[in-house]
Amino acid sequence: MLAEKQSGRVIGAQIIGGQGAAKRIDVVAACIAGRFDVQQVVDLDTGYAPPMSPLWDPVTVAARRALSLL
């Protein structure tokens, strides 16, 4: 995840993967279009459907990491 240093606004991300990658690309694209900052991405309430998805969505994990670097 790539964010502007001053505003924290999400400006890009790289996603590599198989099943579920398209959903995550859509989430990041919507966040960019909506001009979300990294904290807003962290606060998103994404769907959780065990056993098909991890407890922490990879987009949320990336946003938390980006937030810690800002």
Residue-wise pLDDT for 13-51, tens only, equals 999 988 878 989 999 999 999 999 999 999 998 877 667
Are 9 and 37 a contacting pair, CB within 8 Å?
yes
Residue 60 has what pLDDT? 93
Q: What is the CATH number of domain 2-69?
A: 3.30.390.30
Question: Which pTM does this prediction carry?
Answer: 0.83
Burial annotation 38-59 (CB, 10 A radius, 16+ → b, else e): beebbeeeeeeeeeeeeeebbb
Q: How much is the average pLDDT of 1-8?
A: 95
Residue 3 has pLDDT above 80, yes or no: yes
